[in-house]
Homo-oligomer: A and B are copies of this chain.
């Protein structure tokens, strides 16, 4: 029997992608999709591609139908999840949160980067981190909780942290990185990453035919990447996000100084990464000499990783391509929900991006 599912914040870009993925999922039933701003508007009026696929209209965030859902996705800005998650989990729902509210384990770090106190620290302590390839135990624990009718909350990883960590974590965890080396990450995102709000930044005429960096040293995904990579508080991450003129796609280039005794051979790392990801059907480590393209993963939950070594500088260059709304947001959330609900992690996913 299908799992009654709610999506809060369904009119934003991650939210509407969740609507698409839940509608096509054989084991999930979209019971309610909320948007305070568009409450009462049919989904297919706002996003006409849904014509014929659903007759639902957006509900408000406090719609009682949410309380009847077994599974709730929160695709809301930070602080909004803080406000909603405690009530929902208390009501028995399993919550998969796409906001930043339950990602940072240390409430003080949250408060530092988001300028607001964390008001649900108990729940925070129990949240599973939603990046299944790197934290399978977290999700297994949440799955057991869900199965036992206990509190289950998943805090999905952000888009930059997902791509960056998939690229960097296997090398760092295996000890190939220089212990005190600084990891330099330059990442580029498509404009869906800037959100649905119409602003100067998201105006076609300013984003088109333009490249820019933003948030140098101040982007809130910085502490999240540090936490995932286990280098929090060490001043060893320099992360610079960039914006490029495309809709979907995120490419993260992680430059990882190698430990003195680590080899300078790309093939070695490719083997290591393939072993690391051997159970992960969504992650593909490319052959030597190949580098990932975001177009290869658009619309999917896939991540493609390419590896090269700069021998003179003894540096591993690891590049990961994802869809920022896919593996970077909505699709990863569905992957997490699959795992927590005891379904195969690929349930509801196609294998392949639109090829051109």
Partner-B contacts on A (CB < 8 A): 13, 16-17, 19-20, 23-24, 47-53, 182, 184, 186, 188, 190-192, 196, 198-200, 202-214, 216-217, 234-238, 240, 242, 244-251, 253, 255, 257, 281, 284, 286, 290-300, 302, 304, 306, 308-315, 317, 319, 321, 325, 350-356
Given contacts A17-B354, A50-B351, A186-B186, 10 further A-B contacts (CB under 8 A): A20-B352, A47-B355, A49-B302, A186-B240, A188-B244, A212-B251, A217-B309, A237-B313, A248-B354, A299-B354
Taking the nearest CB of chain B, how far is it from the CB of A294, in angstroms? 5
Contact yes or no, B244 A211, CB < 8 A? yes
Q: Using Cβ atoms and an 8 Å threshold, which residues of chain B touch A242? A: 188, 251, 253
Supposing A16-B355, A245-B245, A355-B16 touch, asked if A313 and B212 sit within 8 A by C-beta, the answer is no
Q: Using Cβ atoms and an 8 Å threshold, which residues of chain B touch A214? A: 291
Contact yes or no, B200 A198, CB < 8 A? yes
Q: Using Cβ atoms and an 8 Å threshold, which residues of chain B touch A244? A: 188, 211, 244-246
Taking the nearest CB of chain B, how far is it from the CB of A190, in angstroms? 8
Q: Using Cβ atoms and an 8 Å threshold, which residues of chain B touch A356? A: 13, 16-17, 192, 196, 205-206, 247-248, 325
A235 to B257, CA, bound (A): 12
Contact yes or no, B249 A210, CB < 8 A? yes
Looking at A48, A234, A249, A319, the one whose CB has the most chain B CB atoms below 10 A away is A48
Q: Using Cβ atoms and an 8 Å threshold, which residues of chain B touch A237? A: 313
Q: Using Cβ atoms and an 8 Å threshold, which residues of chain B touch A20? A: 352, 354-355
Contact yes or no, B319 A49, CB < 8 A? no
Contact yes or no, A355 B17, CB < 8 A? yes
Q: Using Cβ atoms and an 8 Å threshold, which residues of chain B touch A236? A: 313
Taking the nearest CB of chain B, how far is it from the CB of A78, in angstroms? 21
A137 to B355, CA, bound (A): 33
A108 to B32, CA, bound (A): 51
Contact yes or no, B352 A212, CB < 8 A? no
